[in-house]
Structure 1
């Protein structure tokens, strides 16, 4: 599969190189209108299970008003050229289809034949990459040339705002929300200066329509514009209308995460008139406010046994973190208070997510020729969702465009509520460097004694999301924080003690000391990891290949006895750079395997304890017994699920060796539950897997 992706990337690079040779030329052949209609009819009837998107050379979106620009016609367009500042006015004559992009047939007032960018089959098309560069005009708009307007235009009397409003209401009933939005806007423009009652009705209706489309920011503005001022308590009708307006405003605020404003709007609605729906909405908003202030979530309780939806209705808890400039990095996420190991640092709701269940049987693929990267699955489909969300809610765009995009500095594009420009190339660059693969952490019902426990985890790339706050965390293989994801909710806990103002770090990937690419793992993000783990694995250079070889052999248990493999691995981790507290990741798998094998022989619990301790030490957890109490040094720890199993086994072993009243056994049991909470995000499922 990987070879196919590489071949596809090379094919697109070759096509781009060929197209660039024709840059600035006029095309020699163009498809006729009839041929194009037939081609689109064929494509429209096809079944496209793979949607490919090719990201070409980046350019900025237009920020000018269309009336300020000099139009260009199709015959003037040149191949592989961005005609900056020249709008093209065309008419669509085919139904749009989605293949490698949304495509349709067009014609202008001079050429009733289409055009113009080199395609994989040798044809040409007109390409518009930024959705904000694409403007749908009314067919009778004064900007539209007469030859492109309808040949027969209905002669009708001037319609009143009330009549247009009724048409909008009909469109809403048919769920034609885009059409309704256009009609309500037209009706508002027709309202006279004294017709405030009708104007407020239209704003209230348009607020609901904008909400259906997902344009929450303008929905909120419309709802506030619909509020009737200075209403008397005996004016029942006005009180009822204001309740609806405040309800729409509150729901809009709720949907873009402004829960405090949402609660205020719902409170105002209840003040106008008691309504059960508003009471429910207010309770939800207050729950979100409580979550954002306390970090307590009902669904994370170990007493919560219900199933969870793929997208959770919850708030983010991020008040204990702060984004700041970071030495050696552009920015980072810092702790504003001290944390102990296992403490909750943040819980964050995804800014935007694409779930595997969203796309059905369709596979999405994005090939970015600017960065030479390819994305498949939900990572690719998330780009479309992000562009849509940012265009519909431009105030959210500023926060997203603050994220790292691979350049040394970031600039926030200007926003316009009428037609906000969204740079799709920059959205993609930020997505490639900041997306998180979602991997649920549900309870695991299998017991430790099961030889091959079946994990109820979806593949790591099954779903993808962006998190605005968590994205600022810098990397370290021996990170001081560990993330887990439940549905579209990211949970971050401390893996060791964290001081106030200390930078928060997470492991971007799972380090593999046997990999030939070790040391260049982070090239995707444009840096080299210099944590103690990577420095140890890469020093001295002369022994790296030998260590990789023996670690690879140790993973192949069928090729050599386990103990022999252990004897071969251990000396390679005693070389310079591997201080006692530095994780030795190549030892972990073999040590854990030996510990499980030893557990089958109950006559040697002492040996099992030693092997369990070795497994923990290989991950940077250094246990010691001081005055019969367990002390664990986790300065450079690397968190993995195997830590929990090992801690539970050690608890059981110490109980066998020292008796049920041993303090060490109890402390290992407590520590195992703490590590489970770090690895899984909550204590849910711990008792089910390991018993009380």
Structure 2
């Protein structure tokens, strides 16, 4: 019975859940009251269910999973890698996926957490390469090599308590600055190509990457994501993308804001806002309707955010106008008609500031007594927050709890 139990533990850690289930079932047949066997059988059945449904308890996992190996199974059945017509391999949906649903969740082949206080600098230069890797990249390179050694030489390997521990054990304590320099390698997800008009957003929980649909995805549609954040300047995006060895589906137009004024601290705030609005009008004119109709206009995001904040205390209507402008600049079309809220995401780029502005719009609507609209906007904001963050923890801390109302005022 002990041999079966150990075989089940080994199979579980190798993600061979069917073999683990068979071993634990045999354990419980020998002793139906074995506590360890029953516990591990239940845990294995939960992983098998996750492989089929992708339903995981992210709220319970996320906050504690910084820099850890999470105890969840891969959920890959909705996607498969195929050849594209124009840009090599890609990942495609094998079934329709609704907005906000999990596209895939995958545990890392190799995962290197960031040390709390780096004590050494590692540099690896492979003999056949012309350049080296350093830091967590070199540690991950070593981890991948170790995995291959284990795979092809199953007779033994160097023991490391962190790497061989069972269950949901933390690998390392995160640094005090909360900057996670962890690095991982995800094989299935690596087939996903970049698009500036992407349809899936990724987030991380421990060593697991989660992709959620930012809009409805049709069967056989290619899954794409954004490699750099929406607000990254053009030079950063243009420099970083080629180094990844991946191809871009849509080249963003280069916006050079050389006329941005240097503002003196003594200038009146109202004057500064007026200068921002004047500059916004000039930037807006550079976006041709012929080419940018219903597309994101990234050059309008930051200044509209500043203006929305500046007007938030003394001019709610102007604040609302700029909040809508921020949302529109990301490619969304938000329409509020009476108590109905509609959001067109066809060519949208999801970002945290969209969630912020949806909540700002909801607060303005709340001040007007439009509680039905407030509820819908909050639901949209929460959905987007989960897509970006992977799970809902922290939403109420950032935006507060929903207020209950017995009736809706006109």
State if a TM-score over 0.5 links the two structures: yes
Structure 1, residues 39-73: CA drift from partner, whole Å, max 9, x if none?
xxxxxxxxxxxxxxxxxxxxxxxxxxxxxxxxxxx
Note if contact 2:203-2:210 (Cα within 8 Å) is conserved in structure 1. Answer: yes
Mapping of residues 163-202 of structure 1, within 5 Å: none
1:586 aligned residue: 299
1:284 aligned residue: 43
Note if contact 2:276-2:307 (Cα within 8 Å) is conserved in structure 1. Answer: no
Distance change (3 Å), C-alpha of 1:634 and 1:369: farther
Is the counterpart of residue 315 in structure 1 residue 73 in structure 2?
yes
2:221 aligned residue: 502
2:140 aligned residue: 382
Listed as ranges, the gaps of 5+ residues in structure 1 are: 1-242, 395-415, 421-441, 443-455, 539-543
Pick the aligned partner of 2:310 from 583, 597, 609: 597
Structure 1, residues 10-41: CA drift from partner, whole Å, max 9, x if none?
xxxxxxxxxxxxxxxxxxxxxxxxxxxxxxxx
Distance change (3 Å), C-alpha of 1:370 and 1:594: farther
**Bigger Cα displacement from structure 2, 513-522 vs 604-613:** 513-522
User: Greater RCO between the two (CA within 8 Å, min separation 6)?
Assistant: 2
Note if contact 1:514-1:548 (Cα within 8 Å) is conserved in structure 2. Answer: no
- The size of the alignment, in residue pairs, is 376
Listed as ranges, the gaps of 5+ residues in structure 2 are: 158-173, 402-410
1:575 aligned residue: 287
CA–CA distance in structure 2, aligned partners of residues 558 and 269 of structure 1: 73
Compute the displacement of 1:612 (Å): 0.1
Distance change (3 Å), C-alpha of 1:374 and 1:624: farther
Pick the aligned partner of 1:348 from 106, 109, 117: 106
Pick the aligned partner of 2:328 from 603, 617, 632: 617
Is the counterpart of residue 563 in structure 1 residue 279 in structure 2?
no
Compute the displacement of 1:628 (Å): 4.5
Is the counterpart of residue 263 in structure 1 residue 21 in structure 2?
yes
Distance change (3 Å), C-alpha of 1:261 and 1:588: same
Compute the displacement of 1:474 (Å): 0.8
Note if contact 2:9-2:20 (Cα within 8 Å) is conserved in structure 1. Answer: yes
Distance change (3 Å), C-alpha of 1:518 and 1:357: closer
2:56 aligned residue: 297
Pick the aligned partner of 2:354 from 640, 643, 654: 643
RMSD: 3.0
Pick the aligned partner of 1:458 from 178, 181, 185: 178
Mapping of residues 11-410 of structure 1, within 5 Å: 243-274=1-32, 275-298=34-57, 300-301=58-59, 307-308=64-65, 310-357=68-115, 361-366=119-124, 375-394=133-152
Distance change (3 Å), C-alpha of 1:255 and 1:379: same
CA–CA distance in structure 1, aligned partners of residues 227 and 311 of structure 2: 33
Compute the displacement of 1:519 (Å): 3.7
> Which secondary structure state, in structure 1, belongs to the residue aligned with residue 212 of structure 2?
strand
Note if contact 1:292-1:317 (Cα within 8 Å) is conserved in structure 2. Answer: yes
Compute the displacement of 1:308 (Å): 3.4
CA–CA distance in structure 1, aligned partners of residues 198 and 261 of structure 2: 26
Larger Rg: 1
**Bigger Cα displacement from structure 2, 338-347 vs 518-527:** 518-527
Structure 1, residues 388-424: CA drift from partner, whole Å, max 9, x if none?
0111013xxxxxxxxxxxxxxxxxxxxx76799xxxx
CA–CA distance in structure 1, aligned partners of residues 65 and 349 of structure 2: 29
CA–CA distance in structure 2, aligned partners of residues 418 and 305 of structure 1: 35
